[in-house]
Copies of this chain bind each other. A is one copy, B any other.
Amino acid sequence: MKANRMEAFSDGVLAIIITIMVLEFKVPEGHDWKALVELGPKILSYIFSFVYVGIYWNNHHHLLHMVRTMNGRLMWLNLLLLFWLSLVPFTTAWMGESYFAATPTALYGFILLLAALSYWLLQRAIINQHSSDSSFILAMGKDWKGRLSPLLYLIAALTAYVSPWISGFFFVLVAVVWFVPDKRIEQALRGH
């Protein structure tokens, strides 16, 4: 009873989340390039979400490889993470449709913040299955990305009320920080 079915289920949910966001691109009335311009903010917000869900899929994949024994707690924490991520298509569409208005952008950030916190809880529960001197724990020690990104999401959410450009800067920053997959766990896996 390993984590592989949880992995398959999570993969399915993430694949659907990333794909149904496209259903928000309604076919425009006109048939020229100008008709695409109004889709601009929607496409931009789609790119953001595609990258974030892609990052989650990749890190989640690494993380689940470290699960020692599956139990109800891990399953519920994983479902909590999927719950927040399942709201991303809605917040993506609202943010895009509103041309990055303050409140939709803030909500977008808050949902990602809650997803990041759920991920962190899931990670903690998995860490607790390892002894404190395992290669996995040592590798995770300097988990600055995991600590930084909820903070960046919070700042991005709050600065949405100042300017969408400042908020957008912090959203891009999170993506850049996570762009490279989690080398730490990769190394620990190799250590195994």
A45 CB → nearest B CB, Å: 11
Residue of A28, A51, A104, A107 ringed by the most chain B CB atoms within 10 A = A104
A116 near B: Cβ within 8 Å? no
Known: A12-B16, A16-B16, A20-B19. A27 touches B90 (CB 8 A): yes
- Near B by CB (< 8 A), chain A positions 17-32 give 17-20, 22-25, 27-28, 31-32
Q: A15's contact among B16, B58, B89, by CB below 8 Å, is which? A: B16
Chain B residues in 8 Å Cβ range of A23: 20, 23, 89
Known: A5-B61, A27-B90, A72-B181. A16 touches B14 (CB 8 A): no
A98 near B: Cβ within 8 Å? yes
Chain B residues in 8 Å Cβ range of A83: 47, 50
C-beta contact mask, A109-138 vs B, less than 8 Å → 1, else 0? 000000000000000000000000000000
Known: A31-B104, A36-B107. A9 touches B11 (CB 8 A): yes
- Which 8 pairs across A and B sit closest by C-beta, in order of nearness? A12-B15, A31-B101, A72-B181, A16-B19, A31-B98, A25-B90, A54-B79, A13-B15
